[in-house]
Structure 1
């Protein structure tokens, strides 16, 4: 079964993403920041098949977070950056730092599944 790491400062976003993804048979782990994610990855040496990364983590620019993740055990996994609105400058910095794509919040089952499908084989 594929697995996904959701890094988002908002617990509600973590829970909604987890509920939607578990409904399409993707194991999900949610953390609230980059340090928590790095701790999880370092302690367990766990790898994930997909990462959803918030572009608005407090105190962590998205390009810094992406570079850190690319150097971790999830470095080869697709990383989708979660945005609230289109921001060309932020999206350009994210792409240059290694983002595989973008998702927009708020999302629902249909939109999140559509964004994830190109990167994972899901059971709809």
Structure 2
């Protein structure tokens, strides 16, 4: 079964994202911090990662760089969750290795549209 790792300081964001992702027949793992997310990915590399652009313990860019350095981390799609369309932050995240972006707060339709392509790719792999 495909897995998605959701990393966000907010338990509500993690819970809502998890419910939406479950509708794609995908298991969800959650992490409340970047360090927790890296430990989870090191243990079992997910098929998709959703990470907040602003974590309490590290920047989204730093998380993505560290994830990409892990074995198998270079091939995993990473969607950065942002609270606004900040071109500077989006550029830094993209340079760090982000595959795409989704804006918070999200609803079922908006997040599903963003993730559908990546989940289909994970299914084909």
Q: Could you say whether these structures have the same fold, taking a TM-score greater than 0.5 normalized by the shorter chain as the test? A: yes
Distance 1:115 1:50 in 2: 12
State the Cα distance separating 1:93 from its structure 2 match.
0.4
Deviations 1:47-75 (A, max 9, x none): 11100010110131221111011112433
The number of aligned residues is: 121
Distance 1:55 1:108 in 2: 18
Distance 1:108 1:68 in 2: 29
The TM-score normalised by the length of structure 1 is: 0.90
Q: Kindly indicate whether the alpha-carbon contact (under 8 Å) linking 1:81 and 1:102 is maintained by their aligned counterparts in 2.
A: yes
Q: Kindly indicate whether the alpha-carbon contact (under 8 Å) linking 1:52 and 1:81 is maintained by their aligned counterparts in 2.
A: yes
Distance 2:84 2:15 in 1: 21
| 1:107 counterpart residue number | 106
| 2:11 counterpart residue number | 11
Pairing of 1:1-124 with structure 2 (within 5 A): 1-42=1-42, 44=43, 46-72=44-70, 73-121=72-120
Secondary structure, aligned partner of 1:107: coil
Structure whose residues are more often helix by fraction: 2
Runs of 5+ unmatched residues, structure 1? none
Secondary structure, aligned partner of 2:58: coil
Runs of 5+ unmatched residues, structure 2? none
The TM-score normalised by the length of structure 2 is: 0.90
Q: Kindly indicate whether the alpha-carbon contact (under 8 Å) linking 1:81 and 1:101 is maintained by their aligned counterparts in 2.
A: yes
